[in-house]
Amino acid sequence: MYRYGTRLTHRLIALVLAGLIGISTPVQACTNFLLIAADGTPVYGRTLEYALQTQSEVVVMPRNTLFVGMRANNAPGPKWNARYALVGVMSFGQPFVSDGMNEKGLAGGALYFPDFAAYTPAGEADPKTALAPWEFLTWVLTNFATVAEVKAALDKVTIVDLPTPVVNFTLPFHFPIHDASGASIVIEPIDGKLKVYDNPLGVLTNSPPFDWHLNNIRNYVKISPVNANPLKIGGQTFAPLGQGSGLLGVPGDPTPPSRFIRALGYVASARQAPDGPQTVRLAEHILNNFDIPIGFISTGEKDGPLEYTQWTSIADLRARKCYIKGYQDQVLREVDLNTFDLDAKSLFVAPFRSNPTPPKLEFGKP
């Protein structure tokens, strides 16, 4: 049984979130998208940015894992057994994931959604079906196989405004969900209800809400991967300087609206790869453009925390393979869900590698 609520858990989350409260502004950057290979294989990519170490680990959660949610004052919340195994990333030693894919190819993430996430008040929800924000994604991935199943089940559950243990702080999330057919949705807690959007674009970042991002696309409809034609004025011809002139105006800053447009531009214009493995590499190339080094984003406070890309994940939703790399080791590491005992009685956990020295290039013998 994996339960939230031990004294050690409380102390750990208290220390972590005490830091988060003081730096609520910078912990907002995540980028998520879905690519479709020519053979129909969906490949999901995502970055996670935070301003302090999340102590992230890669985890495989077998079928029948028992989850017991936690309510206020350490009271037990809803219980469920995992119908499906999953691979994902958990933080602070807690058995819930902020990103993952299950054995059926359903994948998703918890992306920061500050200023707009509005959950159901805890006192107004049925405690048997009320999930804390940090529990919701794990509940989705351990119970459902497709986006359609998730949509059909959302009226049977609520996400409640529940501060994480000890510290009075509720984590604001919204959730992109994708499946092995290529279907995508976005789930957002708005005014105490779960609002669901179909997402044919497959892209999501952070605040504002998803429908705002869709409207914002209208500001960039002139942008094209095709170079601009030379311009003639007063008998003079002015040709573009270099390549990429059709993309002038694509926002390059790390704010969520700008990252949404930039990610959409890459997803819409990148040449389609033929299959899953090559689409994984394409996703990696795109995600490299959203990598934030330490120091690029700052609150301006002396010795203040600095947000950066802590890890990048990619998942082939048909092959059931996940690929992970961390800040200190920029080499993708494969986790093949098919190679695990998915009926095991305990979690499989692996830390992110720390390898600041690049591996040596091997030469053949002359």
Identify whether the C-beta of residue 100 lies closer than 8 Å to the C-beta of residue 141: yes
Judged by phi (left if over 0) then psi (alpha if -120 to 50, else beta), residue 353 lies in beta
Token representation of residue 55: 């102590």
Cα separations (Å) of 182 from 64, 95, 101, 176, 344?
27, 27, 13, 13, 29
What number of other Cβ atoms are within 10 A of residue 208's Cβ? 16
**Catalytic-role residue among 27, 29, 30, 185:** 30
- Give the C-alpha separation, 65 to 344, whole Å: 9
Q: Which residues have CB under 8 Å from 263's CB, separation 6+?
A: 31, 32, 33, 203, 205, 286, 290
Question: CA–CA separation, 264 vs 267, rounded Å?
Answer: 5
Question: Between the CA of residue 333 and those of 63, 188, 265, 324, 337, what are the distances in Å?
Answer: 23, 31, 27, 5, 13
What is the enclosing helix (H) or strand (E) of 140?
helix 133-143
Both tokens of residue 236? 């003079």
- Distance of alpha carbon 332 from its chain centroid, rounded? 17
In 3D space, the residue among 88, 89, 20 whose CA is nearest the CA of residue 55 turns out to be 89
| Contact in structure between 317 and 180 (CB atoms under 8 Å) | yes
Q: What is the DSSP string of 68-116?
A: EEE-GGG-EEEEEE-SS-EEEEE-TT-S-EEEEEETTS-EEE-EE-TTT
Note if 322 is an active site residue: no
E-strand stretches of 162-305:
173-178, 184-190, 193-198, 231-233, 236-238, 297-298
| Catalytic residue IDs | 30
